[in-house]
Structure 1
Amino acid sequence: MNKYLKSHITAAAFCAGVLLAVSCSTSRELRTMRLFMQSGRPNIFLPHEESAPSGVLAEQVGFTTSSDTLPGEFEEVSDSTDDVWKTIHLGGVDIVAARTVVKQVTMREGSVRLEFNIHVPSLLIDSCWRVTLTPMLCTSDSSGFPLPPVVLSGSSFTRMQEADYKAYRLFLNGIVDPSAYDSVYLDRKGINKDIACRQRFFYELYGKERDRQLAYEKWKRLALERQNFWNTRTQANRATLRHRLERKRIEESVRRYVAGRDTLGLWASYDRKYHRTASFWPMYRLERELTADRVPSKFRDLYNGGAQPVQHTQLCPHRHRFDGHLPPPLFLRPDCRK
């Protein structure tokens, strides 16, 4: 019975070996799959040694990577403007000794050179990020020595960083000393334009005022000519009246003298008659006078006080280039606001 069982087992094993050999010898296309269970944190490894070590330390030192020193979840702080820019803070990764034979460590000028390799997972590498690793060397006596940081910058991050540095350099080069503001920020071309526009405006205003002044002078000359004409006629009428009354008084005085009559009071009588007649009839008493009521309203300001001087405003304080914006010039004419 045992022999029969052993023979069957031997036959089954032989058949399985033949099938395994046939399956291994059959040519099939190899299939590869991406490993999805990768490490989610940076790891540190000692460099691979091809040759035998040059020395052996007196004490035994080993290096191992502790798997339970990194927290399971990451702390993410995302930007509110763009989801691409994120900052991930990882906790410390403790590296413990794990080999017994190392190179002989030689101290030169007070420094010791340590060699190790740092592997950063591809999950943490992105063109828009910058990964900064700050290693810390810890010894057995609980003392630590900070090592220089390791910075891995993506292409987009580096490009934007260079653009920011360039903009900052342009900003520094664009700082102007306050004593040189007038030579840099003063818009002399704009000031000349303002002055020319202001001069043109006042020249046109002067032309209008000049024409109005000439018109007023012409009106005043004609008004004075008419006034002098009527006043001269009134004065001539009074003179004619006085001369006529004087002749009558002289004739009557002669007649009284020849007749032997008294001539006392004759002059006073004719003088009263002259004043009574001259104060009653308009042709003797109405003399014209140029007053403000007789002047037209468009010339009344010229008659009262003449042309007033115009105050000139300052233009330079409003022609400085600050922040790339120029304030509009302060003109009285709308067509100058260009």
Structure 2
Amino acid sequence: MKKYTPFNFSLLFFIIAFTFMITISPSCSIKKNYRKLDIERLFMQTTKPEITFADQGGIEGLDGSRSVSEEVSFSEYSGDLSQNEVLVNEMDKLDTTKTYRLSGVVVKAKSNFATERDGRVHVDFDIIAPVDILDPYWRLTLAPFLIDGDSITPLDTILVTGEGFRDKQLGDYEAYQDFLSTIVDPSAYDSLFVDWKGMNKDIYKMQRRNYNDYRRNYDLMMDYANWKKMNEMEFLRMEAIARRHKKHMQSRYWRKSDKKAFRQLDKNKGIDTLGIYGQYMDKYKKDYTSYLKRQFSFDWVDSIHPDINIHAHKDSIMRRSHIPRKYRDIHQKGLTLRDLKAKPFTKEDSARIAKRHYLIDEIVLNDMNIERKGEIFKEVVEFPIPGEEMTGLRLDTVITAEYDFRYPYKQPWKIEKSTKKLEVVLAAMVEGIDKSTFVFPLSDTLTYFIASLAQLADESLVTERKMLHKNMVDNQSIYPDYRTRKSHRFRDIRNPEIFDKIVEAYQIYNNEADLVVDSISIRAYTDLEGLWHENYELSLERAKEAADYLKQKGVRNPVPKAAGEDWPTLARQVQSHRSLLYRQAILDSLTSAIYPDMTEENIKRDYPDDYKIIRDEIYPKLVRFDVTLHINRPGIEENTLQETYREDYAEGIKLLREKEYMLALEKLAKYADYNTALTLVCLGYNDKAQEVLEALPESGRNEYLLAIIKARKDNKNEAAKHLQKACQLSPELYSRTRLDSEVRELADELNLWDTLNN
């Protein structure tokens, strides 16, 4: 184990205290020494950090939209200075009789528009710190605040740190690290802050004590073993004496019984001598037992008999006070030398002894340093460097302070539906390495007005304007399928249901309060098969049959008319039919025909294959009825413009402007007009919005929405065409283009601004 040489901390305390007194003594003297503060020159100028709209715009929407800041620059000149007017940089001293003109004045708009998409905007602005307020030994803190209604929210801070200031910070951290390196971990107290001489002495004492304890127990065990062996020998000796005496007594009494028995037999030959042997054996047992009691102490034996084994009863004897007191515990537990455990010296013993030999002064000082690490950090590290875990910090950058500092700040922000504008203001402060601080006045406020597509709502559509015509016609064509080519009876039509829509239209018009159907004309056409005059008569008969049918259905005054063969339709069908081999020749024959019947025969003869196609595919389309309903408005004398205020439509526009898009769509969906499409665009339903817009007449706003939709679909060429058309039809949309991200980015990418403005 490596030994630690104690440091004389008492001496260290004295040196620190003496140095501190020398350091503070000048500040306590009567004459104060005022040195120059690092930030002195900030008091001698008026420059401050500012914020301005970013070069590409003030607000960025969810998909990157921005609007451009308005900027006007005035150049420096002196040729047209009026009398008593001078440039500010040409003055030698202040003259109150002169008017001073500032050079290079830049006027920036303090308000702009922000594009809202999906309830979010991106606040874009530039933070500018002129070089005049930068210094290598300063740190500039830039803290923007966003104002949303009554709420003021601090945004992430920007730290602009000079190189010298950062060197000061790093030096402080090194000093603090040096302090930390002097701190000893408490787990190392046992190895470093210990009186080794005293501890080693106590360790030796404990080791010697452990050995002595073992030796004492060892000697006792050995003595017990020797005593046990001696005791065993004693019991064996006693057993041998008893057995020897027993043998002698048995022999003596046996001889006596034999001698007496022989004497009796000599006197009387038939006498029983067994009783004599029994008497002597009883006497033997009695005398031997008396011997045992007399020779040995058998008080512990309940009954003594001649066959008793003294050695077998040794354990009983030793349990009854025959064991010395010092051996009784060993004997009762049956311990041997193998059961004797040596007590080693352990790490725990070392740590326990070390605690009694700690260098208390050093430990107390070390503990105080551990407890005051936070305080020491604050004292040594005057300007901490923000770490990655720090919240609310956007940037901590180190600069040389040779140029202006500019930072493009981007901040996403979720807005409420009622939000009309956002404001941004900048607070700033400079810190010097001497702890001096300078707080700048707040910057000018940037104001962002929220621009939403809902602002494009057309409120003029709330009032429905409809032209009421005095006289109107409704033209419809139906195609009957006759059983034969020359049939004219109505009952020969296979599809009579085609007339149902004529009857339905007639009933609808007549049921309108301000409409009346004056008459219905039914003009019948046939194909070219057969003679021309016969087909004319056939068409007349068919028209009459159809008119009679309509009368039966309640139609008043149907007028039948004959048209005969439908040559114009035939010519159009032939011209569009690509499968006809001699299409142009047939078309020339039709357009130059003088005798219709002969023309058909010539086509049939000269172009039989094409004629077959014409007869099978085109002739069925020539058989038709053209039905014209003549409608009149009896309540007016001439055409009139009717205006109707739609309350539900007005409610839909209100909801649209309040950005309640789904509720607005419920009100506007049935009208399928521009505002309906606008609502769909706000909801992101681009395909449905495009479908609605393509069904509407061409207009600037319709084209503008189509441009947004195409841009969202990444169809840039189509989007550009719609955008150019929109600005052509409605020039005021040029300004709007800068507010909507989809078309603004499109115009930037394709360089459309000049084209749009023209």
Question: If the TM-score is normalised by the length of the shorter chain, which range does it land in?
Answer: 0.3 to 0.5
The TM-score with structure 2 as length reference comes to 0.21
TM-score normalized with structure 1 length: 0.42
Q: Which structure carries more strand by proportion?
A: 2
